[in-house]
């Protein structure tokens, strides 16, 4: 009896030390646990719609193999956002998470942008609140699937990558443990003061990107984007690091820059792929971007780097304000 009450007291003490948001979340649990889903990629809009901000939105889901063998097992989840004029399916085939063992464990959710674009870019459809869409969709995913709230992540390419940054800068970003982007179109993050969130951030950018130029400035879409090296430094500073916490290493065809501070492992990590264009970096070119003429540089395979980065962050150890 004594042991039982000691455990109970310890449990209450631990629970009350949690922020209110986390307590409410874990009490609610993921009500989708126990529901059956076919494994594999499913983009059927009839079964994947949600009303958000007064619009009907659609998305695709990739369900891990053997999901129904353990319908009550909480699953890690990645929200993966396509680029301008892309689709859930094109992004699924671009990041190819399920090609890698570590990626097979995740539920992948692939939201579709309104007019194939995302909030924050000059060509985005006016008045669309994609941050609200993500909030509503995460709630719906928790109702339909068994979601591990401690392991929720976001990734995206180009306009979808720029939106991942917008999400990171929002309060809704608190739900996510880490953020990854490829050739991010950072129209919505052109000054350090734009954002005061501490986040785990990963980006890869081609040194020969002519759509979202590495050095920043105006783009052919009529907006302005930041110099990528400068933007990486902003995130280091937002996370509380100083210039002394920055290190850069050269590799064959690319360089890696990291910020590691406050006892944290690399909280900001960046890959510059010298001769790559506007692409999701792949070592084989068998992804959606692989056929593009400017995506022929294969020095870096980005997807396993994203999975490795995500594996290091969760709701407990993610940087917080
Ligand atoms: C949708 O995108 C096309 C070009 O891709 C553009 O011409 C059109 O104005 C856009 N529609 C809206 C509602 O913004
Ligand atoms: C850089 O991109 C341009 C335009 O896409 C292309 O013509 C050129 O060959 C590329 N350079 C390298 C070194 O890949
Ligand atoms: C988060 O990761 C740390 C290791 O960095 C681990 O000790 C901790 O148990 C993890 N928390 C959750 C909720 O997974």
Strand blocks (E) in the chain: 40-42, 49-52, 55-63, 75-81, 107-111, 147-157, 178-182, 201-206, 217-218, 224-225, 246-250, 254-259, 268-273
Q: Are strands 201-206 and 178-182 parallel, antiparallel or unpaired?
A: parallel
Res 128: pLDDT:
98
> pTM above 0.85?
yes
Q: Which residues have any ligand 2 atom within 6 Å of their CB?
A: 208, 210, 275, 277, 294
Tell me the average pLDDT across 205-231: 97
Note whether 81 and 163 are within 8 A (CB). Answer: yes
Region of residue 195 (phi > 0: left; psi between -120 and 50: alpha; otherwise: beta)? beta
Q: Whose CA is nearest to atom 14 of ligand 2?
A: 275
C-alpha dist (Å) from residue 55 to 64, 116, 130, 159: 29, 14, 11, 20
Of 207, 208, 225, which Cα lies nearest the Cα of 216? 225
User: Which two tokens mark 110?
Assistant: 């692939």
End-to-end CA distance of the chain: 40
Res 264: pLDDT:
72
Ligand 3 pocket, residue 148 CB under 6 Å? no
Please give the distance, rounded to the nearest whole angstrom, from the Cα atom of residue 115 to the centre of ligand 1. Answer: 6
Q: What is the band of 187 on the pLDDT scale with cuts at 50, 70, 90? A: very high
Res 29: pLDDT:
63
- Say which ligand is closest to the CA of 275: 2
Instruction: Give me the sign of the Cα torsion angle 39, 43, 47, 52.
Output: positive
Tell me the average pLDDT across 31-55: 94
Candidates 212, 215, 294, 296: which one to mutate for ligand 2, based on the most atoms within 8 Å of Cβ? 294
Q: Whose CA is nearest to atom 9 of ligand 2?
A: 294
CATH of the domain spanning 20-311: 3.40.50.1820
Encode pLDDT of 91-137 as tens digits.
999 999 999 999 999 999 999 999 999 999 999 999 999 999 999 99
Q: What is the band of 263 on the pLDDT scale with cuts at 50, 70, 90? A: confident
The domain limits of the chain are 20-311
What average pLDDT is seen over the chain? 92
Q: Which residues have any ligand 1 atom within 6 Å of their CB?
A: 115, 125
Of 95, 118, 63, which Cα lies nearest the Cα of 310? 95
- Long-range contact pairs involving 47-50 (C-beta distance under 8 Å, separation at least 24): 50/133, 50/136, 50/137, 50/140
């Amino acid at each position: 009896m004594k042991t039982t009450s000691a455990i109970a007291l310890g449990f209450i003490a631990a629970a009350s030390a949690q922020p209110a948001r986390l307590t409410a979340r874990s009490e609610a649990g993921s009500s989708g646990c126990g529901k059956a889903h076919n494994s594999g990629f499913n983009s059927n809009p009839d079964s994947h719609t949600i009303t958000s901000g007064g619009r009907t939105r659609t998305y695709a889901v990739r369900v891990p193999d053997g999901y129904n063998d353990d319908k009550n097992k909480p699953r890690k989840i990645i929200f993966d956002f396509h680029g301008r004029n892309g689709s859930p399916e094109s992004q699924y085939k671009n990041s190819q998470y399920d090609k890698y063992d570590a990626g097979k464990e995740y539920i992948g959710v692939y939201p579709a942008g309104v007019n194939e674009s995302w909030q924050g870019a000059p060509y985005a459809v006016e008045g669309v609140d994609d941050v609200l869409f993500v909030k509503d969709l995460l709630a719906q995913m928790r109702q339909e699937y068994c979601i591990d709230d401690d392991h929720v992540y976001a990734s995206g390419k180009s306009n979808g990558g720029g939106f991942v940054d917008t999400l990171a800068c929002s309060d809704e970003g608190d739900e996510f443990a880490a953020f990854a982007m490829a050739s991010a179109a950072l129209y919505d993050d052109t000054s350090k003061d734009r954002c005061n969130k501490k986040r785990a951030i990963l980006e890869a950018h081609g040194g020969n990107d002519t759509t979202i130029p590495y050095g920043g400035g105006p783009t052919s879409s009529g907006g302005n984007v930041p110099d990528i090296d400068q933007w990486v430094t902003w995130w280091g500073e937002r996370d509380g690091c100083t210039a002394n916490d920055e290190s850069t290493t050269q590799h064959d065809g690319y360089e890696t820059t990291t910020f590691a501070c406050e006892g944290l492992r690399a909280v900001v990590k960046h890959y510059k792929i010298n001769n790559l264009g506007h692409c999701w970096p792949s070592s084989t070119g068998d992804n959606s971007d692989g056929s593009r003429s400017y995506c022929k540089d294969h020095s870096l395979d980005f997807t396993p780097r994203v999975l490795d980065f995500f594996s290091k962050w969760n709701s407990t150890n993610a940087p917080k304000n």
